[in-house]
Amino acid sequence: MAFTGKLHDNKAKGTYTCAGCDRPLFPSETKFDSGTGWPSFYEPIEEGAVEEHLDVGIIGVRTEVKCARCGGHLGHVFDDGPPPTGRRYCMNSGAMHFKPA
């Protein structure tokens, strides 16, 4: 549920990794408060860290985000984020771990 995930309010410096395979996904520097209740990032740690797939479902058409290494579902990405990318990677706290710097 929104606003309940363990990583939603995390403001520590470090790296968010895949809960399934420990691949680094997002640096804390790209995390922002989107007001949605989910950990949100404007950019992955590097190109190729995550994969995007069309997700057509009951809610409509969205873009699913998966770990590029293990294929684990991480969340969804939207085109309403802040500069410099304009993207909002809306991630699930249960799908990630956090490694402090």
Is-cis flag, bond preceding 24, omega within 30? no
Residue 54 CB contacts under 8 Å (≥ 6 apart), including other chains? 61, 63, 64
Residue with tokens 């989107």: 34
Sign of CA dihedral 9, 46, 25, 92: positive
The catalytic site residues sit at 90
Comparing CA positions, the residue from 23, 74, 28, 27 lying closest to residue 49 is 23
